[in-house]
Amino acid sequence: MRKSISLVVLAGLLLAVVPYLGLPAFYESVLYMVFHWIALATSWNLLSGYSGYFSFGHGAFFGIGMYTTATLASQFDVPFLWTLPAAAAMAALFGAVLGFVAFRVKAVRGELFALLTLAATFVVATIVLNTPIDGGPGVYLSAVPLPDIGPSPSGTFYLLALAAALLTIVIAVLVYYARFGTGLFAIHDDEDVAEVLGVPTFRYKVAAFALSCGLAGVVGGIQAMFVSYVTTGDVFTIALPLTVVLMSVLGGTRHWIGPAVGAVVITLLLYGFTAGDSAVMGKVVMGVILVAVILFMPEGILGWVMHRFGRKPAAAAASNPRPPSAIDGNAREAAAPMAGAPSAPGGRSGGGEVLLKARGVSKSFRGVQALRGVDLEVRRGEILGLLGPNGSGKSTFINVASGHFPASSGSIVFAGREVAGISAHRIARCGISRTYQIPRPFAHLTVLENVALPAMFGAGLVERRQAETEAWRWLAFTGLAERAHALPDDLNLHQRKFLEFARALAAHPQLLMLDEVLSGLTPSEIDEAVALIQRIRAQGTTILFVEHVMRAVMALCDRIVVFNQGQVLAEGPPAEVMARPDVVAAYLGKPMSGEAPPPASGAAAHA
């Protein structure tokens, strides 16, 4: 990260000399446009590229910046440079408010968010046009004095735009390598999982949106002075956000430098065509480039370059490319006693204190009652099996307890703290962690990054470097160390299931909820997974275990709870519970009249 920033700053310093070389003003104007678009595209990418929420409202924030500067400078005689922070603040404030409203609605994602921000642009434009801010004829800034920063007016604009571009890129780099950026990339891949792993998604999105808008506001303020005549028709266009999107997508949205690369290419291309009096050709070329890039290079120039020259995600390059030397061959043994684990309480009775206590938990989806007043206790140190026929509410219970869905009613107390109704990332930080029945890894992060993320956001909240050291330990623990730099798509199902384990464990949970981790595995893989679960328990982690593979349930669980139709049907030691006629009936249906219930020893019931 330091290296990237030093390089950017160095390049900036070198470029800052240009106005003093005595080149024709024409070069400065061209470069002004280049910096202008670099700053706009990079600022857009902070929210949209990193977190995947494509905003089409960048024109609005840019325009708010323009009008803030125009109004303050022309009507209130505020010195031009002082209007820039105000422009940033106004745009950021508007972005924050819009984000605060829009991100409350879960379904406003993808194209809907794009439309919403586009609509916001026109609302802002209409208001500006019809109020004294503009009033119709536009605002002139020609009388506003320009500070003498550079050797000439064009040099001044050059330096201002350069400063804005530098500022934006440095912020983009900082965010990219920070916990903040990691969280945004996780939101991009799977927002629900990110939240459950401890990423405060709402706060991050609003913050990224405000930051992105604020920077666009600064660029707008400078542009207002540059064009010296501001009208709504020119400012609030649909072309601006689309151009910015085009630049970022062309360069690559998953890297901080991508939008800058795209901006340089497109601006120079357009310039080449307009200078040669073929503006129409320029448009055609831009359209063709956009279509071709999306079809053939969906990851952009940088994505393509990275694939081409060895996939080494820049985020990982900054940290441990190999496992720390302490952890290698006998890593499994090394990992086991970590965290000063109190070993499992004696025997299989599991009579420890209550870790999680659910009382009257209900959940309904419109008409469907998935949970009807579930009472349940999980004791510290035990493995509690959660059984029941399909649709009995087991997975719903995990979803409610992890905060994925809010409970309709009832209370869940975890380690003395009420967790029903608080957001999922806060539950994760309390020490509850879960796996998904169908693995949901972050598709664009490597295996290592996938596992490091919960360590950064879970109960520990550690820094990236330390998180990756821990991630290596969990990868060794689950036997995935060799695939650390692979992408999740390259793993087989068995490995993806173990990745789920590693990711859940990296959060240092007190309670680990496993949702059908064994389904789809071969018998030998099941044996391996069972051994793994035993090792996890040996470290003192409490486990809530939803499973259909009875062999594993019988081998692992201290106690089991059987769900049926959203209610607790039975609870107790495995063999005893499985022999109860009502449990058998729930699984296999009612026995025919006159027949004895089928003998249900644990081994036989392989439902």
Partner 1 sequence: MADRMAQRMGRPGRNTQNLLTRQPMTLPSFTLLAQSIVAGIFTGALYGLLGLGLSLSWGMLRQINLAHFALAFLGAYLTYQLASYGGVDPLLTLLMIVPVFFVLGVAMHWMLARFRATPFNSLLITFGLTIIIEAMLQWIWTADYRRLDSSYAEHKLRLGPLFLPLPELITLGLSVGISLVIWLALRRTDLGKAMRAAAEDAPIAAAFGINHQALALMLSGLSAALAGIAGVCIALGHTLAPSQIYSWIGVVFACVMLGGLGRPMGPLIAGCIIGVSEAVTMAVTAPSWAPLVSFSLLIAVLLARPGRA
Residues making contact with partner 1 (CB under 8 A) = 30, 33, 37, 54, 101-102, 105-108, 110-112, 114-116, 118-120, 122-123, 125-127, 129-130, 136, 227, 233-240, 242-243, 245-246, 249, 266-267, 270-271, 274-275, 279-281, 283-284, 286-291, 294-295, 298
DSSP-derived 3-state class of residue 540:
coil
Instruction: Give the nearer residue to partner 1 in terms of CB position, either 206 or 398.
Output: 206
Is the distance from CB of 420 to CB of 411 less than 8 angstroms?
yes
**Placement of tokens 């086991």 in the chain:** 336
Angle subtended at Cα 358 by Cα 356 and Cα 362, rounded to the nearest 5 degrees = 145
Q: How far is the CB of 438 from partner 1 (least distance, A)?
A: 17
Q: 125 or 532, CB closer to partner 1?
A: 125
First to last CA, the chain: 53
DSSP 429-485: HHTEEE--SS----TTS-HHHHHHHHHHHSSS---HHHHHHHHHHHHHHHT-GGGTT
* Beta carbon nearer to partner 1, 280 or 443: 280
Task: Report, in Å, the least distance between residue 343 CB and partner 1.
Answer: 49
| E runs forming strands in 208-327 | 229-230
Residue number, 242 or 413, with CB nearest to partner 1: 242
Q: Which residues, listed in sequence order, are joined to residue 377 by a DSSP beta bridge?
A: 357
414 secondary structure, DSSP code: E
Specify the residue, 18 or 297, whose C-beta has the smaller distance to partner 1: 297
Distances, alpha carbon 149 to alpha carbons 36, 72, 84, 588, in Å: 17, 20, 15, 83
Minimum distance from CB of 126 to partner 1 (Å)?
4
Contact, 518 vs 557, CB < 8 A? no
Cβ-based nearer residue to partner 1, 270 or 481: 270
Residue given tokens 């608080």 in the structure block: 422
Q: State the amino acid at position 196 in one-letter form.
A: V
Yes or no: say if 379 and 351 are a contact pair by the CB < 8 Å rule: yes
- CA separation (Å) from 193 to 136, 197, 430, 561? 48, 6, 16, 26
Task: Please state the closest distance from residue 249 (CB atom) to partner 1, in A.
Answer: 6
Q: How far apart are CA 239 and CA 21, in angstroms?
A: 34
> Which secondary-structure segment (H or E) carries 601?
none
